[in-house]
Amino acid sequence: MTHIVTEHPYFGIFVLFVLTFVAFSATLNLQRFISRKLARLDTEKLKMSIYECGPEVTKQPNTISVQFYLIALLFILFDVEIIFMFPWAVDFKALGWFGLVEMILFILLLAIGFLYAWKKGALEWHSIK
Amino acid sequence: MDALVIGTIIKVVLVLLVVSALAGFGTYIERKVLAFMQRRLGPAHVGPFGLLQIAADGIKLFTKEDIIPQNANKFIFSLAPVITAATAFIALSAVPLFPTFIIPESLPLIGGAIVPSVIADVNIGILFVLGMMAAGLYGPLLAGMAQANKWGILGSARTAIQFLSYEVVTGLSVLAPIMLVGSLSLIDFNNAQIGGVGSWIIWQQPIAFVLFLIAGFAETNRTPFDLLEHEAEIISGYVTEYSGLRWGMFFIGEYSNMFTISILAAVIFCGGYGDIGFIPGWLALLLKVVFFFFLMLWVRASWPHIRPDQLMWLCWKVLMPLAVINIVITGIVVMI
C-alpha cells in the first residue's frame, strides 16, 4: 500500500517503452514474413491501389475542413489551462483562499475568451443547408 | 543487476503478455455479451462456447497478406500501428494493477521479495497516464495521413478533434479529485479511500465521475462516440488501407485503452484495491474493472451513436463548462 522509494522511478517505464516497441515491431515483421510466404505475390494494379481512388491511381490531397483546425486551436487554449491547474490542484489546501481566488480570476479571464469563441461560431459545425 | 531490475523486467513481460491476451479475450467477451443482449448466440462453434474463436481470429490476422498500398508513405504507414499499441501499454505502467504483496518465504530464490503494485511508482501517475493516452493519438493521426486516402484523412481528422476535445474534459474532471487528495500518484488515491465503501471519492464527486466516464468512452472510441470507424460515412476511417496484423494492432491498442480507463475509474473514484468487507483487494479491483468493461458493452448494445457536430456540442458546450463549475464549487466547499 505504501510507496516503494527507488533511485530511478522511471526505470519501469523505460523498460516497457523499449520492450513494447521492439516486441510489436518484431511481431509485425514476423507476420509480414509469414503472410508473404503464403500469399500470391502479384503486384496487380488494382490490388496495390488505394480504396476508391478512381480508375487511375491518384494521390489524393490531404485537405480537410477548416473547422478541425479551429477545434485544435481551442484545444491548445484549454490544455495549457489544465497544465497550469494541475500543480495548483495538488497544492490546493496549502495555497488556501489566495490560490482559490487567483484561480477563479484566471478561469473568468479564460471564460471571456471562450464566450468570444462561442459567439464567433468556432464551436458550430458547418451548416449543410 | 539487483533484484529491482530483474523484478521490473519480469513484471513488464508478464503485463505485456497478460494484457495482450486480455485484449484478445475482450473481443470475445464483447461479441458474446452483445449477442446475448440481442438474443443471438454469438461465437459458438470454435471450441467450447466458441472460446477458441480468439485463436482462430489470431491465425487469420497472422496469415493475411500484409499490403502496403501504392502512394503510401511506407515507413510511417508501418510505424503507426506500433505507436498505437505501444502507447496504450506504456500508459499501464503507472497504473496500480494489484495490491502490494510479499512472495512467501517458502519459495526458492524469490522468496520474501516485495512486489510493488505498479511497474513504475512515479509521483505524477495520473498526468503520466493521461499524457500517454493522449500521445496514442499519433497512431491514428499518422495512419490516416500516411495512406494518402480521403477516407483515411477524414478519419484521422475526426480522431484528432475527438481525442483532443475529450482530453480537456478528462483533465478537468480528474482535477476535482486531485484537489481533495492533494497528490497525483494513483497509490495515494487508493490510500485516501482505504476506509471502505463510504470513503470512495465517487460519493463526494459524482459529477466528476460521470464526466470522466463519458470522456473515457469518447477517448476509447466506444459507442455512443464511435465515429472513427463509421462505415456509412467514412468506410473504416484511419484503418481503411490496413490489413492483417497491422489492423489488429489498432484493436489491441483500443482494447488495452479500455482496460486502462476501467482501472483508472476504479482507482480514482471507486476505492481502488482496498478491501470491501470480506472481499480481498485484488478481487475487488478485478470486479470493478470487469463491471466498467461490461458497462462499455452494455452502452454499446443500448445506444445509437451520435453525429460529429453533436459530439463537439456535447464536449465544448455541456461537459467542459460543467467540469469547470464543478472545480470552482469543490474549491469553495473544501475551503469552507
Q: What is the ipTM of this complex?
A: 0.83
**What is the least distance, in Å, from the CA of A31 to any CA of chain B?**
5
- For the record, the C-alpha cell of B12 comes out as 513488464
Cis peptide before B224 (omega within 30 of 0): yes
How would you classify the pairing of strands B101-102 and B114-115? antiparallel
Q: CA torsion, points B177, B183, B189, B194, in degrees to nearest 10?
A: -110
Instruction: Name the residue among A3, A35, A90 with its Cβ closest to that of B178.
Output: A90
Instruction: Name the residue among A12, A27, A85 with its Cβ closest to that of B175.
Output: A85
Taking CB atoms and an 8 Å cutoff, what residues of chain B touch A32?
A: 66, 244
**Using only C-alpha atoms, what is the Rg of chain B?**
21
DSSP state of B279: B
CB contact under 8 A, A1 and B187: yes
Please report the pLDDT score of residue A127 as a whole number. 61
Q: Is the pLDDT of residue A2 over 60?
A: no
Residues counted in chain A: 129
Q: Residue B224: which of B104, B103, B293, B308 has the closest Cα?
A: B308
Which long-range CB contacts under 8 A does B283-292 form with residues at least 24 apart?
B285/B97, B285/B98, B285/B99, B288/B262, B289/B259, B289/B262, B289/B263, B292/B261, B292/B262, B292/B265, B292/B266
Beta-carbon contacts of residue B246 (< 8 Å; ≥ 6 apart): A28, B66, B78, B81
Best mutation target, A33, A35, A48, to test chain B (most B CBs within 10 A) = A35
CB contact under 8 A, A107 and B119: no
Convert the pLDDT of each residue in A30-87 to its tens digit. 888 888 888 777 777 777 777 766 666 666 667 777 888 888 888 888 888 888 888 8
Q: Residue B160: which of B139, B130, B131, B188 has the closest Cα?
A: B139
Beta-carbon contacts of residue A42 (< 8 Å; ≥ 6 apart): none
Which CA distances in Å does A50 have to A21, B70, B146, B247?
27, 7, 12, 15
pLDDT in tens for each of the 336 residues of chain B? Answer: 566 777 778 888 888 888 888 888 888 888 899 899 989 888 888 878 888 888 888 888 888 888 888 778 888 888 888 998 889 888 888 888 877 777 777 766 666 677 777 777 788 888 888 888 888 888 888 888 888 778 888 888 888 888 888 888 998 898 888 888 888 888 888 888 887 777 888 888 889 999 999 998 888 888 788 777 777 777 777 888 888 888 888 888 888 888 889 988 888 888 778 777 777 878 888 888 899 999 988 998 888 888 878 888 888 888 988 998 998 898 888 888
Gap between the Cα atoms of B272 and B288, Å rounded: 8
Gap between the Cα atoms of A126 and B12, Å rounded: 47
Instruction: Name the residue among A17, A24, A60 with its Cβ closest to that of B148.
Output: A60
Which long-range CB contacts under 8 A does B110-118 form with residues at least 24 apart?
B113/B3, B113/B7, B114/A4, B115/B7, B115/B11, B116/A4, B117/B187, B117/B273, B118/A12, B118/B93, B118/B94, B118/B186, B118/B187
Query: ∠B34-B39-B45 over CA atoms, to 5°?
Result: 75
Best mutation target, B267, B312, B313, to test chain A (most A CBs within 10 A) = B312
Beta-bridged to residue B102, according to DSSP, are B114
CB contact under 8 A, B62 and A79: no
CB contact under 8 A, A34 and B16: no
**What is the least distance, in Å, from the CA of B213 to any CA of chain A?**
18
Instruction: Name the residue among A35, A59, A64 with its Cβ closest to that of B64.
Output: A35
Beta-bridged to residue B279, according to DSSP, are B276
Q: What is the pTM of this model?
A: 0.88
CB-based contact B120:B108 (threshold 8 Å): no
**What is the least distance, in Å, from the CA of A48 to any CA of chain B?**
5
